[in-house]
Amino acid sequence: MYVIENALLNVVKNKGRNILLGVIIFAVIATTVIGMAIYNTSTSIIEDYKTLFGSEVSISPKTQQVGGSADKTQTDVITPEQTLNFAQSDYLQSAELSSSLGCYSANLSAIGQSDKSNPTTSSGTYTYGGDLKNATMRLRGDYFADFGEKNRQLADGKMPEVDGECIVSTDFAELNGLIIGDTISITAELYSADGEIQETEIPLSVVGTYYDVTDEYGAMGDQFAYRNRRNEILTTFDTVLNTQRGSLSGVAVNAVYYLKSPEMLSDFEAEIRAQGLPDSYKVSTDEASYLRMTAPVEGLQSVSLTFLIIVLVFGAAIMILLSVIAIRERKYEIGVLRAMGMKKKKVALGLWVEIIVVTCICFAIGMGAGTLLLQPVSDTLLAGQMQSAVSVESIKVAVDGITALEIFAISILLASVAGSVSISRITKYEPIKILMERN
């Protein structure tokens, strides 16, 4: 107990020396707060980006050169079953699936409907042939991307939640006098094994309507009722897929795949090739967009880590130097204590307590200063990374409990290292030798 009390008295008695050491410790702690908080936050954000966005995969037909000109004619197809199987890969972060099917109704009118025959249609990665002369509208499952892009908005009711529920555009509902709660019946056009069109009745319950500001006929330009976006009946994925029973086909399944990381592309491609992906298709990923999304934060992480290492290395070196100088100045005091019979361990303990007390005081002050400077420094460092991407404007950086404990542990470790180096040198001397050198 005496050793600790004496150490506390020495902290107050040796103000000048301890203030100088405290300034260095304070600077190290404050900069460590900034570096470690930015590093931990950026690491967390990178993991969140990988979880939320992933890397989008594109599966598209290869362009073949025929007679010196580009020929995009494709004979191989990716079936709905293959599309669904690809989505089960462990290399994927997520997969967005949607389905569609041409249909018509004897009791409902389609916007822009006329006596014109509709052309052969295709959707996504699965192209289906046949003469869809009767199709005037399209049944789409889990096709809600336009709502996220604000091109469509729920006008009334709710979104489809269970199989058999649907929503229709306000224009389509007005044309046919539909209200929420009505039951409609549409006829789907599917294909038998020999290519003949087979008709299947699908009952649907209208649970909502939606506003639609999309381009009415899209980029195709063909003004057929089937292509009119206002004639799209939106429902669940399985409602559309389940119409395809037995040997019937005709449901188009679209998929957008997101890899956990761009580096997994080759493994993912090898896996789906083994599952039957035709060689006439290429598999690629928009790695540039993915990197643009994560590059600013990864750059910030790298800068903060480098900054943190430099601060800790130079800070530790300066602390050791100051501690050695301080201990050499107190050599006579240590010699007296040893001559009075105090053991080396107790002398070392007292000196260690002194530097730990100074460190704890500086930790409290340094945490406050570092927290105040944290956000401005983070914004400045991020501004230097913005040349590679403009999608990240600011990162909210904060010091959580775990980071505070890590910084405290680092502070105590640095203080202990600095103290032990200096103490180990002075305690090698015998008391008589120390006192003689003093004389």
The mean pLDDT of 183-192, rounded to a whole number, is 88
Answer whether residue 200 shows pLDDT above 70: yes
Answer whether residue 139 shows pLDDT above 90: yes
pLDDT at 216: 85
Answer whether residue 130 shows pLDDT above 60: no
Amino acid letter at 334?
I
Could you please report the per-residue DSSP string of 334-398?
A: HHHHHHTT--HHHHHHHHHHHHHHHHHHHHHHHHHHHHHHHHHHHHHHHHTTGGG-SS-------
Q: How many residues does the chain have?
A: 439
The mean pLDDT of 351-361, rounded to a whole number, is 83
pLDDT at 13: 72
Residue 125 confidence class, pLDDT cut points 50, 70, 90: very low
Residues of the chain with pLDDT > 70, as a percent, come to 76
d(CA 259, CA 92) in angstroms, rounded, equals: 4
pTM higher than 0.85? no
pLDDT at 262: 77
Supply φ then ψ for residue 347, to 5 degrees. Answer: -60, -45
pLDDT at 124: 30
3-state secondary structure of 180: coil
> 152 or 24: which carries more pLDDT confidence?
152
d(CA 139, CA 127) in angstroms, rounded, equals: 16
| pLDDT, tens only, 410-438 | 888 888 887 777 677 666 666 666 666 65
pLDDT at 438: 57
Amino acid letter at 155?
A
Q: Packing angle between helix 431-438 and helix 331-339, nearest 10 degrees?
A: 140
| pLDDT, tens only, 303-336 | 778 878 888 888 888 877 877 777 777 767 776 7
pLDDT at 394: 58
User: 297: which 2 tokens?
Assistant: 């934060």
